A and B are shown apart, each in its own frame.
Chain A
Amino acid sequence: MIGEKKGGGKKGQVTLFIILAIIIVALAVLLYFLLIKSPTKPQTVTENPAVYIETCMKDKIEDTVNILSLQGGSVIPSNGYYLYQNNTIEYLCYTNEYYAPCGVQQPMLTQHIQSEILKNIKEDTVLCFNSMKEDYEQEGYEVIMKPGNTTIDLLPDKIITTFGYEVTLTKEDASKYENFKIELVRDTYRFAAIASSIIQWETIYGDAEVTTYMNYYHDLKVEKQKQIDETSIYILTNRDTGEKFQFASRSYAFPPGIVV
């Protein structure tokens, strides 16, 4: 009797473990889909594939701009960074020495931001266009798609993403669509220009006067937070939209205490 009871217990345990394993796997799959954000696939196809692409890509571009804006213009900072409030903020100007001016680390900030956005949306661009092709084909369209280059233009007040794809849709009539454009209203161009200007001051004086920029641009808040190793974290905020851009600089640092 005792032996039989023991056998039943083992079977029960195995079943319990299998159920637990299934739950864990299911949770893992669910978490994967929740955390790994895939492009926002439109619910329905419309007459104009540009609307499809905009719905599919806009979030990705916005997310990319948000991330790089908090990290000195890079999605993954590679020129050294300062960890500030859980953000890895890239140095746009840096020296590891005392009493020395910083050297510019990112001389073409605007172009760097453009290339970072481009790099980060590359994969999603292919996914979105392929998914658009499939969806239109399911709706009975014949789709001829010619991939092309994607370009990012940082302009005052906006970011324009142009997908150089050529798409021809044929159902009854043939319609050709090209140069799909997505326009985001963002202050990134101005932020990059101001950051470059601050960096030029940092290279000469090791500092920049933030009130000068606030007097020029009334809708802009500029903050400078000096850290313990004399790294300066600059935070630019658009007062109207709350949009932020932050970057780090270390220049003309002084050591603590009298040098004996």
Chain B
Amino acid sequence: MNKKSLMFFAMIFLIGILSINLAIAESSYCCERLKSGQWCQTATQSECATGINPFSNQPYTTPIPTSCEMTSYCKLGTCIFSNEGICSANTALSVCNRDGGEWKGESLEDLPECQLGCCLLGNSAVFVTQTQCKKLSSDSGLITDYRLDITNEVECIASITSDEIGACVFEEEYQTTCRMISQKDCTEVEGSSFHTGFLCSASQLETNCGPRGGTICNEERVYFLDTCGNLANIYDYSKLNDNNYWTYIQEPSCDNGMGNKNSKTCGACDYFSGSTCTMYQRGETINPDYGEYFCGSLDCNSVGKLHGETWCGENSVSSLTGKNSPGSRYYRFMCYNGEVTVEPCAEFRNEICIESEVNDFSVAGCAINKWQDCTTQINQTDCENPYARDCKWISGYSILKDENGIDLAFTETETAKIPGSCVPKYAPGFDFYAETGNGADVCSLGTQVCIIKYEIGILASKEKLSRADWQNKISKCVENCYCIPGYTNGAAKNEYENNKPAWHPKSYTDWVNLSNSVCTALGDCGTKKNYLGGSGDIKEIFTSEFTK
């Protein structure tokens, strides 16, 4: 081997080594931390943080070319902070160690120290672990009241009950007065007597507190006040002068069971029915018959929606009709506390907004647009299975073909196998702005080649036919005539019309529409206006003729 050959092989060897190194560098590593700060992420080696971990004062773990779940330092588990009684699920070992927690491989549900219960803290309640409850109670100067029998947050919040209150009568500054407090609190007042079920305004208690001291908001409802400022019963104008209503604790008779929205006479508001205690403002149309408060409506009257309703926006509605214009996305609107808020669903129409209505109350939500495997379905039943995917079947053309160009997807009837294409029901969007986007590749799935056959006789020339007008060409056509511009039903050769499959397009326009519907359903392909109404370039559909 001469010197030149040796040099050549050495160079090949070096290039090989370099290529292997580059390939490794570009593959995915589990970084304990990224340079941008996030912990336990899969990235290229160059993106991994290096040097000293400021939390442990040890060097960062050397990245391993595997997924983080497979590593010892970034596998996910439950992180337990025993002192605080906090458990965090799906936490990486490194993150747990960073914060001084104890990491366990078991899931949160399997760890007894992580079970949640209801912690009652005076007039509030939180759904936490027992250790957290003990700490919170001690910090708030309360005795721990932890309820393991309450198994969810809703029940926990609903369980907030203050001790039953009644009239506590006592002497103050040479007067017999009264306060609406619990029996327990009343016993702490010197020389007091407690009257269960009575209001301070009860005349038989002979205190300085009388009826009709105004109204006030309490727990989202309107209450009467006595003249000492104690809570009485719920505001009910019809009972304003009813001695019994000012004597005993009782429910109002005015409640219509629907929140008494904007009622001038009833203070039995209900948040879930769409009302809450509201202060009357000068100039407002609703002026309560007594006092300053009423059950204000929480509905969004400007858009005609009730409190708690959620619905899909205008943009989404136009998308639901099948437009899914480039740049458009779905939105969910919400009406809460009289305010409309907008929640965009995922970009690129990766989420769609779905709306349903029960008793004129609309409920909407963003749901994942399951279009990913549409184009690989080969029959209509699988394609349109709503539980598996969000796809639609377009009959007449198959985008799935074998290496010889033979159709692979069909709808089978008793008499025929009609080619078809399974395409996304809600066309997804493209990252058209990114250089790495694959929009062109996706759209090319919808590219159709239509081969037309002509019968021109032995003596006629192909060149002469290529120069002929459309009508002349149509008269010579025997197969796939609908691909000729100007072709309409009945204008073609009788033989073709009589023998063509029933599912073939009836006109050139039908064929173009079919092609466009397949193409536009794949994504931001075909001829579409963008979501602002701007048109893109119109692509030429008929591109070549008589090339063979």
Contacts and interface: CB of A to CB of B under 8 A. Distances in A.
Interface string B111-142: 00000000001001010100000001001100
B344 interface: yes
Contact of B95 (A104, A110, A156, A228): A104
A19 interface: no
A206 to B, nearest CB: 9
A193 interface: yes
Most B Cβ at <10 Å: residue of A95, A157, A258: A258
22 contacts: A80-B37, A96-B42, A97-B42, A101-B90, A103-B68, A103-B91, A103-B95, A104-B89, A104-B90, A104-B95, A107-B91, A110-B86, A111-B81, A111-B84, A156-B121, A215-B308, A218-B220, A226-B347, A257-B348, A257-B431, A257-B439, A258-B522
Interface in B403-458: 424, 428-431, 437-439, 441-442, 445
Nearest to B83: A111
Contacts of B431: 256-257
A210 B438 CA distance: 34
Contact of B37 (A77, A101, A112, A259): A77
Contacts of B441: 260
A211 interface: yes
A203 B90 contact: yes
B346 A230 contact: yes
Interface string A169-186: 000000000000000000
**Nearest 8 A-B pairs (CB), nearest first?**
A107-B88, A203-B90, A256-B348, A80-B38, A80-B37, A256-B431, A254-B350, A260-B441
Most B Cβ at <10 Å: residue of A224, A230, A260: A260
Contact of A218 (B41, B81, B271): B271
A13 interface: no
Interface string A219-260: 001011111101000000001000000000000001011111
Contact of A260 (B272, B366, B442): B442
B126 A156 contact: yes
A101 B121 CA distance: 35
A155 B140 contact: yes
A107 B336 contact: no
B223 interface: no
Nearest to A111: B84
A223 B445 contact: no
A216 interface: yes
Given A200-B89, A207-B366, 14 more contacts: A79-B38, A95-B41, A103-B92, A105-B95, A111-B84, A112-B99, A156-B124, A210-B343, A211-B336, A216-B153, A254-B346, A258-B371, A258-B375, A259-B438
B41 A96 contact: yes
Most B Cβ at <10 Å: residue of A112, A209, A256: A256
Contacts of B163: none
Given A211-B336, A260-B441, A96 B88 contact: no
A153 interface: yes
B167 to A, nearest CB: 29
Interface of B (DSSP majority class)? mixed
Given A108-B81, A156-B126, A226-B344, A256 B350 contact: yes
Contacts of B272: 215
B39 to A, nearest CB: 6
A163 interface: no
A136 interface: no
B76 interface: yes
Nearest to B523: A257
B86 to A, nearest CB: 6
Nearest to B365: A209
Contacts of B437: 256-257
A129 interface: no
Contact of A107 (B74, B101, B128, B424): B101
A221 B337 CA distance: 9
Contacts of A79: 37-39
A155 B139 contact: yes
B76 A103 contact: yes
B341 to A, nearest CB: 6
A256 B429 contact: yes
A228 B36 CA distance: 19
B136 A155 contact: yes
B37 A221 contact: no
Interface of A: 77-81, 91, 94-97, 101-105, 107-108, 110-112, 153, 155-157, 193, 196, 200, 203-204, 207, 209-211, 214-216, 218, 221, 223-228, 230, 239, 254, 256-260
Contacts of B271: 218
B472 to A, nearest CB: 41
Interface string B186-212: 000000000000000000000000000
Contact of B428 (A77, A81, A96, A258): A258
A218 B523 CA distance: 41
Most A Cβ at <10 Å: residue of B90, B99, B339, B375: B90
B523 A258 contact: yes
Given A80-B38, A108-B99, A96 B43 contact: yes
A221 B339 contact: yes
Given A256-B431, A258-B372, A193 B126 contact: yes
A215 B139 CA distance: 28
Contact of A257 (B43, B128, B365, B428): B428
Contacts of A214: 336
B400 interface: no
B531 to A, nearest CB: 15
B40 interface: yes
A104 B276 CA distance: 37
A117 B513 CA distance: 63
Contacts of B177: none
B72 to A, nearest CB: 15
B283 to A, nearest CB: 23
Nearest to B428: A257
B300 interface: no
A184 to B, nearest CB: 15
Nearest to B43: A96
B310 interface: yes
Contacts of A78: 37
B64 interface: no
Given A256-B429, A257-B428, A258-B371, A80 B34 contact: yes
